[in-house]
Amino acid sequence: MTQLWQKAVVAVLFPLLGVSAGAADLTEAAVHSLLSGVDFAASRKSDSLLSRYFADNAIITQNIRSGSGSSNHQILRMTRQQYLEIMRETWLSVDEYQLVRRGTQIEIVGDQAVVRSTVIETVAYGGRRYSAHSTQTLTVELSGDQPRIVAAVANLTMP
């Protein structure tokens, strides 16, 4: 009887323990930490630091509108590597770069987080300052036990 009871306990509890002990959970704190890392990498103008926060297969999309009410619209879709190269080139060509993230909302559903924020990027180039405002949506998933951006969509308005 004791062996049967032990087998029943193992059969019922072992799968539950394996799921909870072996799987990392995506938490709001982990997502905030990822965002802090992304923002820090941007403040340092470091594509190598920035690369740590994107999954290898991440897709980055930028919907760019020029001018208020303009019909001039461009869509850029990039791989992680293409995006990092563009950021490297941009950061090398500007005198200053600043990123400010506001109004961040995080929604976690299962093993995925959707992060929405307003981002203001300001650059100084040739003695002038330029700012661009975007609404950004990031999709974050765990890779191992670390959160990584798997998709990013920015709706950007250029002056």
Q: Between residues 138 and 24, which one has the greater pLDDT?
A: 138
1-39 tens-digit pLDDT: 444 334 333 333 333 333 333 347 899 999 999 999 999
N- to C-terminal Cα separation, the chain: 78
Class of domain 26-158: alpha beta
State the pLDDT at residue 66: 79
Domain ranges in the chain are 26-158
Q: How many C-beta atoms lie closer than 10 Å to residue 147's C-beta? A: 26
Whether the full predicted model's pTM is greater than 0.85, yes or no, is: no
Question: In this structure, which amino acid lies at residue 121?
Answer: E
Query: CA-CA distance, 59 to 90, in Å (whole number)?
Result: 19
Residue 150 confidence (pLDDT): 98
Q: Classify the phi-psi angles of 2: left when phi > 0, otherwise alpha if psi is within -120 to 50, otherwise beta.
A: alpha
Q: Which two tokens stand for residue 40?
A: 């820090």
* Ramachandran region, residue 144 (left: φ > 0; alpha: ψ -120 to 50; beta: rest): left
Rounded to whole angstroms, how far apart are CA atoms 78 and 54? 12
pLDDT at res. 36: 96
pLDDT tens for each residue of 36-94:
999 999 999 999 999 999 999 999 999 998 766 657 889 999 999 999 999 999 999 99
